[in-house]
Structure 1
C-alpha cells in the first residue's frame, strides 16, 4: 500500500516541479497533495508497533518531506519558483529511496521515551538546515546574475524562476531566519545526544564520526550567527558558512549511514 503512495507522491512532486510558474494554484494544490501522500507513506513505513524503521534513505526522505512543507509555507508569502525547481525534483527522488534502501527496524522496547523525540528533533533540524542550504544556492545564483551583463544572461525555466525571486536582502532575511531556527533545533539534538546518550542509545557518550561532524556543523552555524550579530556578516561569507555547515551535517548522518548500509552493507541502529 505505502509503495503506491510513495510513487504517487513522487509523481506529484515531479509534475509540480516543471509546471509553468503562472499556474500557482495548481502547483500549490499539487505540492500539498504530494506532501500529504509522502507523509502518509512515511508514517506507514517508519512507525511500527514498539519499533521505528531508520536508515539514510528514510532520514533523507523525511528531511525532504519537511523541506517541501517549508517551501510551501514560504511560497505563500513570496514567489519562490527557483526554490520549487530545486526542492521538488530532489523530493521526488528522496520519496522513492526507502523503497530501494529500507534501512533497519530499531525496537523501542528498553529504550528511553526520549529516543523518538531525539529522532524527531534531529530530523527537524536537518530539514530546516537543508532548506537553508537550498536558499543559499539560490542566493549564490541570484548574486552571480547581478554581475552578469544583460546580453550574456541565459534564458530558460530556471533562469526565469531566479528572476522572479524576492530581492537579495529579503532572501537573506529568510536565510538567517531558517538558520536561527535550525541552529536551535541542532543545539537540542546535540545536547540530547551528549547529555542523555546512555539513556537514549543505551551506551555512554563517545566521539565517533557522526558526533564529530555534527559538532563541526553546530560550530560553523554558531560562528555564522555570531558573526552576523557582531560583525554583520552577509553575502558570500554567509553563504559559504551555510553550505559548509550543511555539508558537515550531511556527512554526520546521511553520508555515514549510506556508507555503512550500502557500501559496507552493515546493519546499524
Structure 2
C-alpha cells in the first residue's frame, strides 16, 4: 500500500522542508492577522506564493514526476492566490487573505501526504497542455466560488444595513464573479473538446463515459445554465451563487473526487 507516510519516507528532506515552510508562510497572516500590519501580511502572502510555486515545481520535476488529485488541488490554490494578488493591485479593498491562506496551507499539506501516481514516461507531448487547461479551469471556477462567497457576505451586510468600509461594492463583486465563471467555462469547454477529439493520443484511449466525464459534463451544463440564465433572464443573487457552488462541486468531483477514490480509497481496500 502507498500510505500517507510514503512522501515523508521517500522524498528528499529539502522538499519536505520546502512544503513545511510554505504551510508556515500561509498560516502567518492568519494567526497574526490582528497584530500584523497590512504590508507585513502582504509580504507573508508573497513569500507563501513563491514557496508554493517552488513546491509545485519540485513535485513536477521529481523523478519520476507524480500527479494526482492533491497536486491538482495544490495548483488550483496557487492559481487562486495568483489571481488574488493581481486583483489586490486593481481593487485594494478586496479582502480574502484568511480564506485563501487556509486553503493554500491545506492544499500544500494534502499534496505532500498524497503526491499521486507516477506519470507515464511515454505520455503525449500535448498532455501537459491538456492538464494545464483543466487546472486553469479549476482555478478560475474556484476563484468564482471565493468571489461568490464574498458577494453573499456583502449582500447580507447590505440587508442588515451594516457599513463595511473594507469591503468591495456588491455590483463590483458580482461583475468579477461572472467574469471568472465565464473564463472558467471557456477553458472547461476547451478541456472537454480536447479530451473528446484527442483522447486516444492524449491518454491512449478514446473518449468513454466514466465518472470523470459525467461529472465534468454536469459541471459544464451547470455553468452553461448559469451564464444563459444571467444573459437571458437576469439571473443573480442567491440562485446564481447556488449554481456556482453546484457547478464547482461537480467539477471538483470530476477529477479530484474520482482520483481521490482511485488513489486513496481503493488503495486502502487493497491493502
Could you tell me how far apart the structure 2 residues matched to 1:112 and 1:21 are? 50
Could you tell me how far apart the structure 1 residues matched to 2:237 and 2:49 are? 32
Q: Number of residue pairs matched?
A: 255
Task: List gaps (5 residues or longer) in structure 1.
Answer: 151-159
How far has the Cα of 1:89 moved from its partner? 0.6
Could you tell me how far apart the structure 2 residues matched to 1:265 and 1:128 are? 31
Question: Which residue of structure 1 lines up, in the alignment, with residue 248 of structure 2?
Answer: 246
Contact 2:26 2:105 in 1 (8 A): yes
- When normalised by structure 2's length, the TM-score is 0.87
Contact 2:151 2:173 in 1 (8 A): yes
Question: Which residue of structure 2 lines up, in the alignment, with residue 118 of structure 1?
Answer: 130
Task: List gaps (5 residues or longer) in structure 2.
Answer: 1-13
Aligned with 1:251: secondary structure?
Answer: helix
How far has the Cα of 1:82 moved from its partner? 4.0
How far has the Cα of 1:163 moved from its partner? 5.5
Aligned with 2:119: secondary structure?
Answer: strand
Could you tell me how far apart the structure 1 residues matched to 2:244 and 2:20 are? 32
Could you tell me how far apart the structure 2 residues matched to 1:149 and 1:182 are? 33
How far has the Cα of 1:202 moved from its partner? 0.2
- When normalised by structure 1's length, the TM-score is 0.88
For 1:5-16, list aligned pairs within 5 A: 5-16=18-29
Aligned with 2:96: secondary structure?
Answer: helix
- 1:20-69 CA-to-partner distances (Å, cap 9, x unmatched) read 498332222221111111111111112346x6411111111111011111
Question: Which residue of structure 2 lines up, in the alignment, with residue 139 of structure 1?
Answer: 151
- 1:62-97 CA-to-partner distances (Å, cap 9, x unmatched) read 110111111111112224564222111111111111
Could you tell me how far apart the structure 2 residues matched to 1:148 and 1:226 are? 31
Question: Which residue of structure 1 lines up, in the alignment, with residue 206 of structure 2?
Answer: 204
Question: Which residue of structure 2 lines up, in the alignment, with residue 153 of structure 1?
Answer: none
Question: Which residue of structure 1 lines up, in the alignment, with residue 223 of structure 2?
Answer: 221
Aligned with 1:108: secondary structure?
Answer: coil
Deviates more, 1:232-241 or 1:195-204: 232-241
Contact 1:17 1:88 in 2 (8 A): yes
Contact 1:52 1:106 in 2 (8 A): yes
Aligned with 2:66: secondary structure?
Answer: strand
Contact 1:21 1:81 in 2 (8 A): no
Contact 1:214 1:248 in 2 (8 A): yes
Candidates 45, 49, 54, aligned match of 2:67: 54
Change (3 A) 1:259 1:163: farther
